[in-house]
Chains A and B, each alone.
Chain A
Amino acid sequence: MISSVKQGTRPMASWLSEGRLAAKVVVLLAIILAACIAVHSGAGSLVNVFVTGGMWALLAAGLALVFGVMNIVNFAHGESFMVGSYVGFYVFSPIRDYLADHPNPVLSLGAPLIGIAVAALAGAVLGVLSERLVLAPLRRRTKEGWIMNTFLLTAGISFILVNSANIVMTANFKGVPNYFDIEPVRIFGVRISVDRFAALLIAVVIIMAITWFLKWTRTGQAIRAVSQDETGAEMAGINLNYIHTLTYALSTAMAAAAGASLLFIFQAYPTVGHDPNFYAWYVVMLVGLGNVYGAVIGGFLVALLQTATQEFIGIAWADVVPTAVMILILIVVPSGIFGSVVKGVHEQS
């Protein structure tokens, strides 16, 4: 049962004052947990939490956006991450080799950003192709059992993409040791590697850009209109096909950017998207399907849970503990911590 159906997305701060007890309890627990981690293993782990959290936030926000606007459950989200990783590698490595012979401070600062930007572009292209070739035809044919159908269709897409990457790129890991050749910085007495800091910064910038886009531009408002009421939006003159393709492309571009910006942690290989897919889905299920702002916060929460599991229980149980937590939470709050945003009563199965 969906216990609360909210209209579209709401400003970020309003949930603080509203009465979602589960959300408040969880955030409180998270703060306590973060403090425990900081005491146990130093502030460095907290920085890792933020970096990982930023990545999960990017991925989960894209997933939630696609669900909120198009009611599509995207199982191939991790593959956008993989494509971003590969493109980032193949754009950055040649520049890096060039820089080894012709040192250029401006270029060496900009090269990773170029790689990430091109990766985002490639992700957008992938999104447009997937949407036009697979999802739009399904939408034209039948809307019955839509949610489950898209889930399985995107599972098929994921299968195809992973195996294509395996053939074209081979299963070798392709990575870079670091993006920036700068010494780690000291902020508040904590040593942070510049790569991680840059990744976090990029994630925050992209999320803020998306938020601004959704709130203040006409196209962004059109996207929110479609997520609230498709028929009404169409009557207001919004081109549904365009909005659908744009939203999907945005989501894949965000995932690809995440993939490229974390190349120094996650090397590029065909199944690299498997874990990000799992965690993005975890976040989205935890906070409630379709809730974009909740997904952003949830990304950091899940990263916290992950790090806590690693620190206190051991890295081998990284698969089991999150699922156990999810089971507990879903038993108590089936619609997720921050509430689901599911469009249309008829499409609930």
Chain B
Amino acid sequence: MSNHHDRQAAQGPAGALVQGLRRIGFSPLGAALFALLLLVPILPFFSNEYIIRWTIIGAFLAAQAVAFDFTAGFINVVPFGFAAIVGVGAYTSAIFSNTSLNLVFHPAISPWAGIWIGALVSGAVGFGLGVLTLRLRGIFAAVMSWFVGIALMGLARNMTWLTRGPSGMAPTTFFEETSNVPYLYIILAMLLVIYVTLNLITRSHIGLAFRAMGQNYDAACASGINPTRYRVMNFTVSSMYAGWLGGFYAHYVGSLTPTSIMDTSKTIEVLAIAYIGGRGSLWGGIVVAFPMVFLMESIRSHWTELPGIQFIIYGVLLILTMIYYPLGIAGIYGWVKKRLVPAVAK
């Protein structure tokens, strides 16, 4: 780790700050960019509700991509039912905070508490999924996750006494005012928590076990890693965060239907961002999500006579990345850093 020795040379409070940032997973550049996000409502050009809304969507996708990459990039199992687990969290939170008397179940818990219940329920689903797919290798586990996702969406559609089915629910929003700004800070805080905790986990021995299982399952088992424990742990944590985010979505958008949040195409969106960002690097998805969201939105609003063209570009980018740049943006960054660091040191 020659980088570590180089950076120990930086003395003083600046050096200590950089070291502290690195310990929680931020390079100085990353921290600066994140600070920029926090300042969006204050910056002159960006402070309108439209841009703030798209920044929120970007942060939502980024956080999902981080949780997705935790499973796909480390233990090499692509959770194809990810969107459905997010949806489970969203619906749980919506149901528990339901105040309308149309449905039988209306506990009317505050949305702030509801999202935690959503996280717990999604975590339980993830736990179950982990146990279910224990005997299944790579692709089989991914397809099983896909099937379970479709079944969950079917459940949400059919249990109309609980979820109002395709007509959808209208969960209470966090705040009564319609400004997007407080929601921006909530989602950015959630993104920060998710990224830092998952980064810390992956840099511990647990993360090492994950990587071993992902790279060569049999060798990992032969080295004494208990695949059951680690796979279930990974699925549970990733699903908990997915449900947490789902709860945010429910109380931000204020409207929820099975297909708007649990459909397979939503998983593919998150998957594309995670892959283009670089599998196995948690931060790649964050860096890619924001430009991607703005790019997609500008394409969509520019070419309104071609509905869905932004998804075609999505698909093309995913394919190009997977064939020609399989390591994604994170890989390109690493390549650039390797070239530049010796030059700078000289």
We find that the number of chain B residues with CB closer than 8 angstroms to chain A is: 43
A149 contact set on B, CB distance < 8 A? 322, 326
Of the residues A167, A326, A331, contact of B147 by C-beta under 8 Å:
A326
A30 interface hit (Cβ, 8 Å): no
Complex: how many Å from CA A138 to CA B268?
Answer: 19
Given contacts A1-B135, A153-B319, A157-B315, contact A167 B271 (CB under 8 A): no
Complex: how many Å from CA A158 to CA B144?
Answer: 19
B344 interface hit (Cβ, 8 Å): no
B35 interface hit (Cβ, 8 Å): no
Instruction: Kindly provide the distance from the CB of B308 to the nearest chain A CB, expressed in whole angstroms.
Output: 4
A164 contact set on B, CB distance < 8 A? 312
B316 interface hit (Cβ, 8 Å): yes
Contact with A along B310-346 (1 / 0, CB 8 A): 0110111011001110100000000000000000000
* B136:A148 contact, CB within 8 angstroms: no
Contact with B along A308-329 (1 / 0, CB 8 A): 0000000011111001101100
Given contacts A155-B268, A282-B147, contact A148 B138 (CB under 8 A): yes
Given contacts A331-B135, A334-B136, contact A153 B323 (CB under 8 A): yes
A109 interface hit (Cβ, 8 Å): no
* B308:A348 contact, CB within 8 angstroms: no
Give the interface SS of chain A, mostly helix, strand, loop or mixed: helix
Given contacts A151-B142, A159-B314, A331-B135, contact A323 B148 (CB under 8 A): yes
A166 contact set on B, CB distance < 8 A? 307-308
Complex: how many Å from CA A323 to CA B152?
Answer: 10
* B154:A152 contact, CB within 8 angstroms: no
Of residues 158 through 173 on chain A, the ones whose CB sits less than 8 Å from some CB of chain B are 158-160, 163-164, 166-167
Of residues 168 through 227 on chain A, the ones whose CB sits less than 8 Å from some CB of chain B are none
A17 interface hit (Cβ, 8 Å): no
A102 interface hit (Cβ, 8 Å): no
Complex: how many Å from CA A348 to CA B142?
Answer: 13
Given contacts A163-B315, A330-B144, A331-B132, contact A147 B322 (CB under 8 A): no
Given contacts A156-B322, A348-B138, contact A167 B151 (CB under 8 A): no
A1 contact set on B, CB distance < 8 A? 135, 137
* A159:B324 contact, CB within 8 angstroms: no
A145 interface hit (Cβ, 8 Å): yes
Q: Determine the residue in chain A with the shortest Cβ distance to B154.
A: A319
A14 interface hit (Cβ, 8 Å): no
* B268:A159 contact, CB within 8 angstroms: yes
Instruction: Kindly provide the distance from the CB of A333 to the nearest chain B CB, expressed in whole angstroms.
Output: 10
Complex: how many Å from CA A259 to CA B76?
Answer: 34
A160 contact set on B, CB distance < 8 A? 311-312, 315-316, 319
Instruction: Kindly provide the distance from the CB of A126 to the nearest chain B CB, expressed in whole angstroms.
Output: 15
* B150:A319 contact, CB within 8 angstroms: yes
B324 contact set on A, CB distance < 8 A? 141
Complex: how many Å from CA A153 to CA B322?
Answer: 7
* B323:A323 contact, CB within 8 angstroms: no
Complex: how many Å from CA A145 to CA B326?
Answer: 11
A285 interface hit (Cβ, 8 Å): yes
Given contacts A163-B315, A282-B147, A349-B217, contact A148 B139 (CB under 8 A): yes
* B314:A285 contact, CB within 8 angstroms: no
A41 interface hit (Cβ, 8 Å): no
A134 contact set on B, CB distance < 8 A? 319, 323
* A156:B306 contact, CB within 8 angstroms: no
* B275:A159 contact, CB within 8 angstroms: no
* A285:B154 contact, CB within 8 angstroms: no
Q: Determine the residue in chain B with the shortest Cβ distance to A284.
A: B143
Of the residues B146, B308, B322, contact of A167 by C-beta under 8 Å:
B308
Of residues 132 through 187 on chain B, the ones whose CB sits less than 8 Å from some CB of chain A are 132, 135-140, 142-144, 146-148, 150-151, 153-155, 157-158
Instruction: Kindly provide the distance from the CB of B77 to the nearest chain A CB, expressed in whole angstroms.
Output: 9
Instruction: Kindly provide the distance from the CB of A169 to the nearest chain B CB, expressed in whole angstroms.
Output: 12
Complex: how many Å from CA A156 to CA B323?
Answer: 12
B217 contact set on A, CB distance < 8 A? 349
A278 interface hit (Cβ, 8 Å): yes
B148 contact set on A, CB distance < 8 A? 323, 327
Beyond A138-B322, A156-B319: 17 further Cβ-contacts under 8 Å?
A134-B319, A149-B322, A153-B322, A156-B272, A156-B316, A159-B265, A159-B312, A159-B318, A160-B319, A163-B309, A164-B312, A166-B307, A167-B306, A282-B147, A316-B157, A324-B151, A334-B135
> Residues of B with Cβ closer than 8 Å to A?
76, 78, 132, 135-140, 142-144, 146-148, 150-151, 153-155, 157-158, 217, 265, 268, 271-272, 275, 306-309, 311-312, 314-316, 318-319, 322-324, 326
A-B contact pairs, 13 of them (CB 8 A): A134-B319, A141-B323, A142-B326, A152-B318, A153-B318, A156-B319, A160-B315, A167-B308, A323-B154, A327-B144, A330-B144, A331-B132, A349-B137
